Amino acid sequence: MIEIPYNHDISLAITIRFQTMAEKLKIVVLTGAGISRESGIPTFRDNNGMWKKYDARKLASVMGFEEDPQAVLDFYNARRKNLLEVQPNHAHKMLAALEKLHDVTIITQNVDDLHERAGSSRVIHLHGELKKVTSSLDRLNPDCIKEYPLDVPIRLGDKAADGSQLRPFIVWFGEYLGPEIEQAVIMVENADVFVVIGTSLVVYPAAGLVNYAHHKALKFLVDPGDIQGRLPEGFHHIQKTAVEGIDILMEEISKL
């Protein structure tokens, strides 16, 4: 385990050190609910997560949407409204700053837009995006995927381009992730540095991405839990939350 005292003031020193580096690294970062939790977005699988309070199969499946579309829309409209009330945190912002000096790709399991709002320009959303809607007949129809204002609720009767009911552009249980997962695999395979932040690594196929990192790649896992028994092979564990651990991570990358 890497033991470096956490200090937000280290950010300036890291930035100065990066300015002297000539070689750009290919850095791929897989993020999960833990990074957004520190901005105020509820998680799903923690002890107090949303799936402890709600029935996931009713609110995050095609079958649930067919049985009670209003309940599903109400659930996602509330999540969309919550997204308007939160802001990117220090971890989001530092990952965006890293992009100015290295070739950085964010692969996220999160459906919020906090990485983009922080300034990251290369973000692969594995599970969809709350700020978009699509067809309820064909979620991946490019003609039906569009941005939808977060302050405007999706209502019954709102139609997609193909005439079907609009639905959130979210990957529900049992649905294919789409081409994003293949793109993510390629990015991980070619990474010089692979970082995992804020994910329990229990949600597949996203969790399986750790298996595609090259054996010579430098690998980090930022997670506050004691996970030595399930730490992926070759990973350095920074046992901190995303916001606490990001500067430690940046310090380690600056040494390369």
Instruction: Let me know: does 105 contact 124? Beta carbons within 8 Å.
Output: yes
Q: Are residues 98 and 164 in the same domain?
A: no
Q: Are residues 75 and 161 in the same domain?
A: yes
Q: Are residues 254 and 161 in the same domain?
A: no
Q: Are residues 148 and 242 in the same domain?
A: no
Q: What is the pLDDT of residue 49?
A: 52
Q: pLDDT tens, 43-82? A: 755 555 554 566 777 888 999 999 999 999 999 999 999 9
**Residues of the domain holding 107:** 1-41+89-127+177-256
* Domains of the chain: total: 2
Q: Are residues 96 and 197 in the same domain?
A: yes
Domain final residue, candidates 142, 170, 198: 170
Q: Are residues 246 and 198 in the same domain?
A: yes
Q: Are residues 132 and 229 in the same domain?
A: no
Q: pLDDT tens, 195-210? A: 999 987 776 777 899 9
Domain final residue, candidates 170, 191, 225: 170
Q: What is the pLDDT of residue 226?
A: 81
Domain final residue, candidates 143, 170, 197: 170
Give the burial class of 85: count Cβ atoms within 10 A of its Cβ; 0-12 exposed, 13-18 middle, 19 or more buried. Answer: exposed
- Hey, which residues are catalytic here? 127
Question: pLDDT tier at 2 (50, 70, 90 boundaries)?
Answer: very low
- In DSSP notation, 34-62 reads HHHHTTT---SSSTTSGGGTS-HHHHSSH
Q: Are residues 48 and 138 in the same domain?
A: yes
8: pLDDT strictly greater than 80: no
- CATH number at 26 reads 3.40.50.1220
Q: How far apart are CA 235 and CA 219, in angstroms?
A: 5
- CATH number at 66 reads 3.30.1600.10
Q: Are residues 93 and 209 in the same domain?
A: yes
Q: Are residues 133 and 238 in the same domain?
A: no
| Higher per-residue pLDDT: 230 or 194 | 194
Q: Are residues 56 and 153 in the same domain?
A: yes
Q: Are residues 69 and 186 in the same domain?
A: no
Q: How far apart are CA 72 and CA 22, in angstroms?
A: 50
3-state helix, strand, coil in the chain (%, to 5): 35, 20, 45
